[in-house]
């Protein structure tokens, strides 16, 4: 008999990423000719679900696409990695989320995002016996805050009610930063593990501070005092911090040859969820996640840069 795989429910955004290369960006209403068009499935929810699947988990993604070709493309991509799409809903009269970028000869880019169906996720989507059955049978529920706030709050509540470990990446956008400044819904502070980067952590604790490890520890302690179970603050190439009631520990970054930052936060989150789902204690899980984040930085691209479990283990073995 084979042992059951750890089960992870990822709740997050999906989109298609379209990019076209050009020599120079068009000026005004000018038309320029480009080359190398690409169109690939992306989005934090998609990347995180794939990362958790690459780490050996049974993964369900909760997301929303449009009733269009791109929605099918996203589902088929997820299925290739064994991610279950039963809860990838289809929105009426909304396009699948899309990001359209122009990349010039210096590598600079200009991007426009249409969130489309992602904005149509609503609390009603996760009401009902089927979703309750799913979430209560999962070891971990990983939620990405880039979705409508009322939906994110319902998802957190559903996880808490079913006693499933809730990991929340607040993933605040610049617009939310200004609009909500330190006033996010109370549900955010009930997460078992909150995983902001430094800027998001500062925003959630409403204390804008200089970006250094000492201040990150203070912000983490403030978030713990507000009710969060454990705070993991990611610090990019400076590693990560784990803060709980009793202590704060810096987890140094893994040394890798840096190529591209795309998807490294998603690799970190997906691997963190996978490690927590097998019952690893938090510092061990953050080391595993840090190795995944570092490996994603060492390769170009989005989902192509997400590492396999064996690669993560190999990098972990370089630790003294």
Ligand X SMILES: Nc1ncnc2c1ncn2[C@@H]1O[C@H](COP(=O)(O)OP(=O)(O)OP(=O)(O)O)[C@@H](O)[C@H]1O
The answer to whether the Cα torsion of 57, 60, 61, 62 is positive or negative is negative
Instruction: Work out whether 201 is an interface residue with ligand X (CB under 6 A).
Output: no
Of 187, 218, 188, nearest to 202 by C-alpha is 218
3-state DSSP percent of the chain in helix, strand and coil, to 5: 40, 25, 35
Instruction: Work out whether 51 is an interface residue with ligand X (CB under 6 A).
Output: no
Instruction: Work out whether 196 is an interface residue with Mg ion (CB under 5 A).
Output: no
Shortest Å distance, C-beta 269 to ligand X: 8
Instruction: Work out whether 66 is an interface residue with ligand X (CB under 6 A).
Output: no
Of 142, 152, 174, nearest to 61 by C-alpha is 142
Task: Report phi then psi at 97, rounded to 5.
Answer: -50, 140
In this chain, which of 131, 188, 268, 288 binds ligand X, going by CB under 6 A?
Answer: 268
Instruction: Work out whether 265 is an interface residue with ligand X (CB under 6 A).
Output: yes
Q: Which does 74 bind (CB under 5 to 8 A by kind): ligand X, Mg ion, none?
A: none
Per-residue CA distances from 89 to 116, 120, 234 (Å): 13, 10, 31
Instruction: Work out whether 45 is an interface residue with Mg ion (CB under 5 A).
Output: no
Query: Which listed range, 122-130, 221-229, 264-272, 295-303, lies at the site for Mg ion (CB under 5 A)?
Result: 264-272
Q: Which residues contact 260 (CB under 8 A, 6 or more apart)?
A: 297, 299, 300, 301, 305
Q: Which does 240 bind (CB under 5 to 8 A by kind): ligand X, Mg ion, none?
A: ligand X
Instruction: Work out whether 265 is an interface residue with Mg ion (CB under 5 A).
Output: yes
Query: Which listed range, 29-37, 113-121, 160-168, 251-259, lies at the site for ligand X (CB under 6 A)?
Result: 251-259
Q: Which does 10 bind (CB under 5 to 8 A by kind): Mg ion, ligand X, none?
A: none
Of 207, 211, 209, 282, nearest to 251 by C-alpha is 282
Q: Which does 290 bind (CB under 5 to 8 A by kind): ligand X, Mg ion, none?
A: ligand X
Query: Which listed range, 100-108, 205-213, 258-266, 271-279, lies at the site for Mg ion (CB under 5 A)?
Result: 258-266
Kindly give the residue spans of alpha helices, DSSP state H, lying in the chain: 44-54, 69-80, 129-137, 149-161, 174-180, 198-204, 213-225, 264-277, 282-297, 309-316
- Residue 56 CA neighbour count, 13 Å, CB half: 13
Q: Which is nearer to Mg ion, 265 or 270 (CB)?
A: 265
Q: Which is nearer to Mg ion, 23 or 173 (CB)?
A: 173
Q: Which is nearer to Mg ion, 14 or 85 (CB)?
A: 14
Distance CA 237, CA 13 (A): 25
Per-residue CA distances from 117 to 42, 114, 165 (Å): 14, 9, 27
Q: Which does 293 bind (CB under 5 to 8 A by kind): Mg ion, ligand X, none?
A: ligand X
Instruction: Work out whether 159 is an interface residue with Mg ion (CB under 5 A).
Output: no
Per-residue CA distances from 240 to 43, 142, 169, 270 (Å): 23, 18, 14, 15
The answer to whether the Cα torsion of 179, 182, 183, 186 is positive or negative is positive
Query: Which listed range, 94-102, 119-127, 183-191, 263-271, lies at the site for ligand X (CB under 6 A)?
Result: 263-271
Distance CA 141, CA 168 (A): 8
Q: Which does 153 bind (CB under 5 to 8 A by kind): Mg ion, ligand X, none?
A: none
Shortest Å distance, C-beta 144 to Mg ion: 9
Instruction: Work out whether 294 is an interface residue with ligand X (CB under 6 A).
Output: yes
Q: Which does 237 bind (CB under 5 to 8 A by kind): ligand X, Mg ion, none?
A: ligand X
Residues that bind ligand X (CB under 6 A): 197, 234-237, 239-240, 253-254, 256, 258, 264-265, 268, 290, 293-294, 297
Residues that bind Mg ion (CB under 5 A): 265
């Amino acid at each position: 008999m084979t042992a059951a795989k750890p089960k992870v429910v990822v709740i997050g955004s999906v989109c298609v990423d379209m990019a076209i290369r050009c020599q120079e960006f068009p000026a005004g209403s000018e038309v320029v000719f480009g080359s190398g068009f690409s169109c690939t499935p992306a989005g934090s929810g998609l990347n995180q679900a794939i990362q958790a699947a690459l780490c050996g988990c049974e993964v369900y993604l909760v997301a929303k696409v449009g009733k269009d070709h791109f929605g099918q493309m996203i589902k088929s991509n997820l299925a290739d990695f064994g991610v279950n799409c039963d809860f990838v809903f289809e929105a009426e009269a909304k396009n699948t989320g899309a990001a359209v970028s122009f990349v010039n000869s210096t590598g600079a880019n200009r991007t426009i995002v249409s969130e489309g169906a992602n904005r149509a996720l609503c609390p009603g989507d996760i009401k009902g016996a089927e979703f309750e059955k799913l979430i209560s049978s999962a070891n971990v529920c990983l939620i990405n805050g880039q979705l409508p706030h009322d939906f994110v709050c319902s998802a957190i509540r559903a996880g808490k009610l079913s006693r499933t470990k809730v990991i929340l990446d607040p993933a605040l956008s610049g617009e939310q930063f200004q609009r909500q400044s330190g006033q996010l819904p109370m549900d955010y502070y009930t997460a078992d593990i909150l995983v902001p980067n430094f800027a998001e952590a500062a925003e959630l604790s409403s204390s804008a501070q200089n970006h250094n490890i000492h201040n990150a520890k203070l912000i983490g302690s403030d978030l713990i005092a507000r009710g969060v179970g454990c705070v993991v603050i990611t610090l990019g190439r400076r590693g990560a911090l784990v803060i709980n009631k009793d202590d704060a520990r810096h987890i140094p970054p893994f040394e890798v040859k840096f190529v591209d930052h795309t998807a490294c936060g998603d690799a970190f989150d997906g691997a963190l969820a996978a490690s927590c789902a097998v019952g690893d204690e938090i510092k061990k899980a953050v080391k595993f996640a840090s190795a995944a984040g570092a490996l994603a930085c060492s390769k170009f691209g989005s989902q192509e840069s997400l590492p396999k479990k064996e690669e993560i283990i190999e990098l972990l073995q370089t630790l003294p």
